[in-house]
Amino acid sequence: MLALFDLDGTLTRHDTLPAYLRGFLRAHPKRWRRLPRALPALLRFLLGRADHGELKSALITAVMGGFTRSEIDEWTARFVPQLIGYGLFGDALTALEGHRGAGDYLVLLSASPDIYVAQIGRALGFDQTLCTGIAWDAERLTGALTTANRRGAEKVRCLEALRLQQPKLPVVAYGNAASDVAHLKLADLGVLVNGSLSARHKAAHAGIARLKWR
C-alpha cells in the first residue's frame, strides 16, 4: 500500500510555516522591518488576485531572502527536532508507525516549503517527500517558487503521478483541509483528519472517512 500523508494540521498540530518564520525572526530580529514588503501580495491574496503560493513566496522572501544555505540549514536543524518532539499528533505518529510496520510505501505531501519539509520527511522516515520548492541563487535563498504550490489541484496531480510510479499499490491518503478533499476522493481510501466544519461537510458529501486525531 502507498500511504500518503499531508503535513500541516494532519501530522502537526499547527501550520508549520508561520512557526518556522517566527522562529527565524526571533533569531534575526532586523528582518521584521522587511515584512511590509509582503503586504502587496497579502492585499492581492485578500482580494482574490493572488494565490497561496504567491503569498507564501512573498513572506519567505521578506523574512529569509538573501540568507545562505548554511544559515538557513542551521535554523532548520533546530526547528525540525522541536516540531517532532512537541508538535505532532500522537495518533498521527501511531498511524504512521502502523503503515511502516505493514511495509507500506510512505509519502509526505505538503504545500509547505522544501527548506524544512524535506528534513521533516527524512526525520520521520518517509520513503518520498513532495513539497513546494524554493529557489536559490547559488548559495543564497531567493524565495521564488521552483514548483507549483503543492495544494488543491496540485496534490491531485501529485497523487496521479504517484499512481504511475507505483501502479500496483492501493493508495490511502490523509489530509485535513477542504482543499485536500479533491485528492482524498481519488485515493482508494481517503481520510479527513481534524477537518474544519466546512471540510467535514465537503468530505461527508464525497463519502470520505473522517477522524479526530489527538
pLDDT of residue 12: 97
Instruction: Summarize pLDDT for 44-63 with one digit per residue, the tens.
Output: 999 999 999 999 999 999 99
Cα separation, 163 vs 180, in Å, equals 17
Return the half-sphere exposure (C-beta side, CA atoms, 13 A cut-off) of residue 201.
Answer: 3
Q: Which of 51, 4, 15 has the alpha carbon at shortest distance from 186?
A: 4
Judging by DSSP bridges, how do beta strands 140-145 and 134-137 pair with one another?
A: antiparallel
pLDDT of residue 38: 95
- For the chain, 214 residues long, give each residue's pLDDT as a single digit of tens: 999 999 999 999 999 999 999 999 999 999 999 999 999 999 999 999 999 999 999 999 999 999 999 999 999 999 999 999 999 999 999 999 999 999 999 999 999 999 999 999 999 999 999 999 999 999 999 999 999 999 999 999 999 999 999 999 999 999 999 999 999 999 999 999 999 999 999 999 989 999 999 9
Measured in degrees and rounded to the nearest 5, phi and psi for residue 134 equal -120, 140
CATH class of 2-211: alpha beta
Residue 78 carries which DSSP code? H
The 3-state DSSP class for residue 162 equals: helix
- CA dist., res. 1 & res. 146, Å (int): 30
Q: List the domain boundaries for the chain.
A: 2-211
Q: Residue 78 has what pLDDT?
A: 96
- The per-residue pLDDT for 125 is 96
- Going by C-beta distance under 8 Å and a sequence separation of 6 or more, which residues neighbour residue 212? 193, 194
Alpha-carbon distance values, 24 to 145, 156, 167 (Å):
19, 32, 41
pLDDT value, residue 127: 97
